[in-house]
A and B are shown apart, each in its own frame.
Chain A
Amino acid sequence: MSETILQIQGLQKSYFVGKREIPVLRGINLTVSAGEFVAIVGPSGCGKSTLLFHMGGLMRPTSGSVFIGGDDVAQLSDGALTRLRRDRIGFVFQRFNLLPALDAEGNVRLALSIRGDGQSDGVAECLGALGLSDKLRHRPRELSMGEQQRVAVARAIIHKPDILLADEPTGNLDSENAAQILSIFRKLNRERGQTIVMITHNRDAAALTDRVVQMKDGTIVNP
């Protein structure tokens, strides 16, 4: 049995507007094993992104636990959470979120420099593997949306994270580019054993994964 890489127990998250409590996640329990490719689906506003941010250490739960490789996110200091995101998590966003001032290679190299790794070996190869060999010096505004998302994927995986978290990675892409991104994810999962948790509205995308987790109103409806 694969090791458990992510374990969520009784996760609750609420926002407070004055004294009024607005629950977003209502007791989530979820386990992801190493090497799994999991899709999280559900209607807008059901808490998918909030759940993903907890998985990535960007949010702390109101109650419950989020264990990433054995570390409880709720108990980690800010510095430790930062290191966790830096070393073990990779994010891919719907809006790509590339830094406009850097070219493709610079955006990917940034992920290494944040880790204090001055070496840029592997950046060109990583981008080349994603079909971007001739786009290294292109800034985001000079890339198509599909190319931008591929650069974002390269940036998210260059440091070989434990988990790749993708928030609607195909949401801003046409069908051809969306298929290309999903193909990349599948390849990463099958060939490199990359653990991937992906939020998506796309049924076809969800169908490519090992497991589909359905959410509604802040809970998982198919445990």
Chain B
Amino acid sequence: MLRLALANMMFRKARSAISILAVAVGISLLLVLVGMTQGTLREVAQRMQSTGADLLVHPQDMNPVLDTFASVPLQAVERVRGVKGVSAICPVVVWGLSLHGKYQRVFGIDPDEFRSVGATLRLIAGRLWQAPNEILIDERLAKGLGYKTGDTIERLGRRLTVVGICEAANGARILMPIKTLQDARSEHGKVSFLLVKCAPGDAPAAVAARIESELSSLDLRTVLLSEYSKELSKSFRGLNEFIAGVSTVCLVISFLTILLTLYTTVVERTREIAILKAMGASKTYVMGNILAESVILCLLGVAAGVGLTLVTKDVMAVVLPLLTVELTPRWLLAAALLGLFGGLLGAIYPALRAVASDPVIALTYE
């Protein structure tokens, strides 16, 4: 049965290739889109977590992922500093700007306070800022958009000069003096959120609870940076629905392609199927032959899809270096199962049709 399925596939190379390609494109579409969304979110979360801080404290009415206003007064910063278990604080003013059409988050920080919560601020080129209008950008942004030390960006009515390139692990891709940002936006004495380092031996969750309960009048909310991914997912609420929608579309594409291919194959092979029946092939044999061909096509399609995804990932790394495409074993398995399931589903109707066909009609048709 397997030999016959393989022989039929090889005999109709063009059609088999098209079927495999269709499944591959469906699988690759799923993996790239899911990988891109999850990869980007994970990369953002890792950047925040790599600051070394344990908590992010922000106003209740602020979305720390999307919002860029500064409303936390400095007095609040000092009160948070006084909570038991807080060992260091770095106030951050957040801003967003568009560079070459790509939105970038900017952190306004004090380098010493940033280091105090655990950030390394390791420089790859240039130096740290020494003047108000000097900024750092991370290596990925520098490489992706072609920036180097000495380049300037006109924003906020100022000429901001890139004086250093740091490794891509500092919360935001662009760092600048906190005071420059506060002055430029007339938000003196206010920050967007706080990065908090907890004392050794104090569980971050306990410190977070303390901050929220002892400073309830300040209307602050704490986020464990170890769970920042969840915060990101919440901020992009439609993401799961989007991924489910994409998965469904991919499944439908695979299903319809296999259905059409095998339906055409069954119609073309009506006489062959009649011959098999005349020779005494059971319904199981006939159906198994059709399904076997579908399974093989789908497995090859899945393999090709994974290959196509890897190629796409490499191409995107060059063309869109700021996007991260993440391939996880879980999603690779899910894509494979979806492709296989879609293919089998698409093969059932043609297989049933093959089994139900009257061999005499096919054998006597001239």
Contact = CB atoms under 8 A, between A and B. Distances in A.
Nearest to A79: B282
B278 A85 contact: yes
B148 to A, nearest CB: 61
A9 to B, nearest CB: 21
Contacts, number: 67
The SS class assigned to the B binding surface is helix
B276 interface: yes
A97 B280 contact: no
Most buried by A among B271, B279, B283, B363: B279
A99 B364 contact: no
Contacts of A87: 280
Contact of A101 (B7, B277, B279): B7
Interface string A84-100: 11110101010001011
A115 to B, nearest CB: 7
B10 interface: yes
A91 B11 contact: no
A97 B275 contact: yes
Nearest to A91: B278
B10 A101 contact: yes
Nearest to A103: B7
A83 B280 contact: yes
B3 interface: yes
B12 to A, nearest CB: 8
Contacts of A102: 4, 7
Given A102-B7, A110-B4, A97 B276 contact: no
Contacts of B271: 97
Most buried by A among B4, B280, B282, B363: B280
B279 A111 contact: yes
A59 B279 CA distance: 14
A190 B281 CA distance: 29
Nearest to A102: B7
Given A101-B4, A101-B8, A101-B10, A114 B279 contact: yes
A86 B360 contact: no
Nearest to B271: A97
B272 interface: yes
B10 to A, nearest CB: 7
Nearest to B274: A97
Interface in A99-125: 99-102, 106, 110-111, 113-115
A182 to B, nearest CB: 22
Contact of B279 (A49, A78, A91, A106): A91
B4 A53 contact: no
Interface in B6-31: 7-8, 10-12
B341 interface: no
Given A101-B7, A113-B3, 18 more contacts: A53-B360, A78-B283, A79-B282, A82-B282, A83-B280, A83-B282, A85-B277, A91-B278, A97-B278, A97-B363, A99-B275, A100-B272, A101-B10, A106-B3, A110-B4, A110-B276, A113-B1, A114-B280
18 contacts: A58-B278, A82-B277, A82-B283, A83-B282, A85-B278, A85-B280, A89-B280, A91-B278, A93-B363, A97-B275, A99-B4, A99-B7, A100-B272, A101-B12, A102-B7, A110-B276, A113-B1, A114-B282
Interface of A: 49, 53, 56, 58-59, 78-79, 82-87, 89, 91, 93, 97, 99-102, 106, 110-111, 113-115, 155
Q: Which 9 A-B pairs have the closest CB atoms?
A: A86-B280, A101-B11, A85-B280, A101-B7, A97-B275, A101-B8, A114-B281, A91-B278, A82-B282
